[in-house]
Amino acid sequence: MKYPDVAKYSDLEIIQKILEEGERALLEVLYDRYATKVYYKCLGILGDKDIAKDLAHDVMIKVFLNIAKFRGTSQFSSWVYSITYNQCMDHIRKRKRIPQESLNTEDFQYLSTEEIELENKILEDLKLTQLERLLDQLKPDDKMILLMRYQDSFSTRQIAEILSISESAVKMRLKRSRDKLAEQLNELQDEN
């Protein structure tokens, strides 16, 4: 390969070489960096290895076909994650024909510090198996936003960029998703 230290290159440097110098062979480097991550994101959302494998392949093709559209205003990983999320949500909508839920910003309420700490404590106290089971009972959009925040540690701003919504809408969706999860936890505890 023309670039022996390519592993040290940032994603942006690789993209620039692909676009400006026509080094299409460097797509392989991006593939190696992201294909497994994309697969596991798809698997986490969909729970089916075969579908996750197919969708991960589709995502990587979409990334490569649209790489010239990457503007560099966010991290490349966020852009790839956005494509992954959208591809998975499209698959779920087609499969289940889930109607797109519209946001009602009138329902948005700012959380107090105590409420945030309490909700975070609830999430931390759950055993992993219970959490996985409860997450699987949530709507895909609710599950996804919680995974983005707590598993992937994305900030509100990053989630807003990925989902192409406002930060207020992200906060609202996170609150609603945490509330649903807490409600499910209470129901589970009432059963025991």
pLDDT the model gives residue 172: 92
**49 and 28 share one domain:** yes
Divide the 192 residues of the chain into consecutive groups of 10 and give the mean pLDDT of each group.
75 88 85 92 86 91 88 85 87 64 42 56 52 75 83 84 88 89 75 62
pLDDT the model gives residue 33: 92
> Exposure string (b/e) for 124-135, b if CB count within 10 Å is 16 or more?
eebeeeebeebb
**13 and 83 share one domain:** yes
**83 and 142 share one domain:** no
**155 and 177 share one domain:** yes
How distant, in Å, are the alpha carbons of 36, 89, 92 from that of 29? 12, 27, 29
Q: Report if residue 86 sits inside a domain.
A: yes
Reported as half-sphere exposure (CB side, CA atoms, 13 A), residue 93 has a value of 10
pLDDT the model gives residue 145: 86
**82 and 112 share one domain:** no
Cα 5 to chain centroid distance, Å, stands at: 30
CA-closest candidate to residue 84, choices 46, 133, 48: 46
What are the helix (H) ranges across the chain?
11-21, 27-46, 49-65, 76-96, 113-125, 128-137, 140-146, 156-163, 167-191
pLDDT the model gives residue 114: 59
Give the domain range for residue 176.
105-191
DSSP labels, 173-189 = HHHHHHHHHHHHHHHHH
Q: Report if residue 1 sits inside a domain.
A: no
Give the global pTM.
0.60
**152 and 184 share one domain:** yes
**129 and 60 share one domain:** no
pLDDT the model gives residue 5: 80
The CATH number covering residue 143 comes to 1.10.10.10
Tokens of 60: 């990587």
